[in-house]
Structure 1
């Protein structure tokens, strides 16, 4: 990763080739990539009102105008998350040293029609890039407008199907979790894998990534099952096929994961013989309190930084941030740094897809040409009362 300046300093570091790397303000933040599922579970798809209640606002006085599209007036948890992300975006701008950016903050009310209206307004006001929307169903509606103008979008959706053709996702994608945890397991000698996954959209993404990376690493899949409401039935089926496996991937969170572990134990599976593997959804107190999951490994951003970010956020706003607030912070810090160093090419695909990546609050990340992202993740071990780091997050990306 090529280093760019810490936003709190004025010195600029030399870039390698045309690539740029970022150190985005303040201490780096780790995160629970469990946000990838909690978004869909907690926020849900909001019913579209007749028209988005636009809460127009601009922050900053820089020359580079940046649209920030969030569901500020959406009901429930969606609106709460949007306000926290808005706060984090403003905090990033405040903590960056002399940003040449003006944020055009628009409310999309959490629906596609609102996202299109909000994006149109930001573009009409001169936005050179759009940050947001948050929801997958809103991204294509907004992207119709950005693509027609050749404008890049950095969205916060966790659905990789909406990425590409100028839309980049700055979110926590399960593919990165699976690649990291299987890669680590392979590096310590695991070769024969089993997986028991939920039969839903998240499970489908994990399945595809699991099968691909196991093949890439030269492993074999000894057993594979998916479950719906009948976890016990799936647990009985896979328990009979675990003899040849040395590792078992489980990709669920909280009470659901604990129930799966209990079902496997009841079905006669000797989980102590297997190395249990998981995704960032495991970063959950319920998981840490489940005896059958002790010693399991999962991939997640290094947790050291989020505490620092949360402390600064609390000092500024008097409350805790939502987990996805760091996405907005990183997005704003990224565009501020690119605006300062990359001239007229600042938001081009060549700059955004820099293979060296960027370092943000949640650690290293880089955008792929298809609009998805790759994150540099740590490997954590489940222990009573919390998680312990087994392998740190990488300091740079490989080729």
Structure 2
């Protein structure tokens, strides 16, 4: 999904280093796994012009073969992200302690054709499951190849429309953020919501999730709803005039944009100190923390401690900072390693991958839905000048579906 995103802006999560052991234990006991979750869009959904494809590589020497498709030779941020995700995958192999898997790493150069070719090569080489690709446009051709071989795909795109039978998304989907912040707001007595959202792909997804989440809460209602494109003036004025009947204002956009939206509301006469501001994990941004208008606002995101611990180990190992989405590659590899160790011949079957108890990852608890989307367990954070402060922790288990 082409949402407004910064690779390091999303959210953060719980203690990760033992994901392999914890996931395996949770699956063996059939018990819920401990963790948390977040929101964001894939900041790399638009690939730049690709460079020459790199030679495929192999990591690990286990018997269970796992394909991994990344835009390693794509230009710009996409290629940088792919290299960081590959490093994270290799780190997961090292930290899992003798996993029985072998990663078949394929470079799709950021193109659908490259992804299809990489999937074909991985399947021809015996891959039992495919991790990746990163871009939404590359998922369908990968899925076409994989389905013909009865091979599941765990992709990293944030576009829910490419999820489906046998294609699961291990990414930060906005729906989880929206559900968490609406649930929390209702839990502290908020009942009347106003919303001002961007008129783009991200805003459309958030709008659907927001309206659905409100409809599930019989005691809650939407008193004002507007979207904006370039100029926020008219939509901000319309919302500002309706705030007298609202106790909560939902703003979902990236750091710079949400600050501009708050400023437009203030200019339109809104007193933002008299209403509870809420948002998504895209609020995890220095611009938001520096904004006087957004102080005290609440947003849903993974508990930051998991990513901090992961980033520290990554720096020690590679001497550089990981991109925010590197945890996806780490968790994907740790997950398949745990399943290979504990689940026997049916290790990657749909019933195993959609285990209702979920799995514990660096960014907290997550589980795959049968439609290929995911649900994550998130904390609720408060905006403060020093950064996000947790006001509600991540859930320790998922409720019934």
Superposition TM-score, scaled by structure 1 size? 0.92
The 8 Å contact of residues 38 and 177 in structure 2, kept in 1 or not, is answered as no
Looking at structure 1, the residues matched to 173 and 184 of structure 2 have their Cα atoms a distance apart, in angstroms, of: 18
Name the structure 1 match of 2:238.
237
Other-structure match for 1:80 = 80
CA distance in 1, matches of 2:26, 2:244: 54
In the other structure, the counterpart of 1:209 is 209
Does 2:339 correspond to 1:338?
yes
Residue in structure 2 matched with residue 273 of structure 1 by the alignment: 274
Q: How many pairs were matched up? A: 383
SS of residue paired to 2:391: strand
- The alpha-carbon deviation at position 238 of structure 1 amounts to 1.1
Q: Indicate the residue corresponding to 2:182 in structure 1.
A: 182
For the 8 Å contact 2:177–2:281, the answer to whether it is kept is yes
TM-superposed deviation, 1:241: 1.3
Deviation at 1:118, TM superposition (A): 0.6
- The alpha-carbon deviation at position 31 of structure 1 amounts to 7.4
The residue that corresponds to 1:59 in the other structure is 59
Give the aligned partner of residue 294 of structure 2. Answer: 293
Q: What are the within-5 Å matches in structure 2 for residues 26-105 of structure 1?
A: 33-34=39-40, 36-40=41-45, 44-47=46-49, 53-105=53-105
Tell me the residue number matched to 1:142. Answer: 142
How many Å apart are 1:53 and its aligned residue?
1.2
Q: Secondary structure at the match of 2:44?
A: helix
Kept in 2: contact 1:299–1:377 (CA 8 A): yes
Measured against aligned partners, the alpha-carbon deviations of 1:16-38 in whole angstroms (never above 9, x if no partner) come to: 68x57667xxxx7x77634x153
In the alignment, structure 2 segments of 5+ residues that lack a partner are 1-16
Which structure 1 segments of 5+ residues have no match? Answer: none
| Conservation of the 8 A alpha-carbon contact between 1:10 and 1:97 | no
Matches within 5 A, 1:1-399: 6=18, 13=25, 15=27, 19=30, 33-34=39-40, 36-40=41-45, 44-47=46-49, 53-218=53-218, 219-399=220-400
Q: How far apart are residue 171 of structure 1 and its match?
A: 0.2
Q: CA deviation at 1:387?
A: 1.0
The alpha carbon displacement at 1:39 in A equals: 3.2
* Superposed CA offset, 1:349-384 (max 9, x none): 000000000010000000000000000000000001
Report the secondary structure of 2:253's partner residue. coil
1:299 aligned counterpart, secondary structure:
strand
In structure 2, C-alpha distance between the alignment counterparts of 1:309 and 1:87, rounded to whole Å: 12
Give me the whole-angstrom Cα distance separating, in 1, the residues matched to 2:236 and 2:244. 14
**Conservation of the 8 A alpha-carbon contact between 1:47 and 1:111:** no
- Distance in 1 (CA, whole Å) between partners of 2:247 and 2:298 is 13
Q: Report the Cα distance in structure 2 between the residues aligned to 1:334 and 1:199, rounded to whole angstroms.
A: 36
Change (3 A) 1:300 1:54: same
In the alignment, the residues of structure 1 paired with residue 106 and residue 20 of structure 2 have an alpha-carbon distance, to the nearest angstrom, of 27
On the 8 A contact 1:70/1:106 being kept in 2, the answer is yes
1:343–1:202 Cα change, 3 Å: same
Aligned to 2:397, the other structure's residue is in SS state coil
Rounded to whole Å, the distance in 1 between the matches of 2:178 and 2:223 is 17
1:46 CA drift (Å): 3.5
Q: Is the 8 A contact 2:364 2:378 kept in 1?
A: yes
User: Runs of 4 or more off by more than 2 Å in structure 1?
Assistant: 5-17, 19-23, 30-34, 37-40, 45-49
1:215 CA displacement: 0.8
Alignment check: 8 A CA contact 1:7 1:97 kept: no
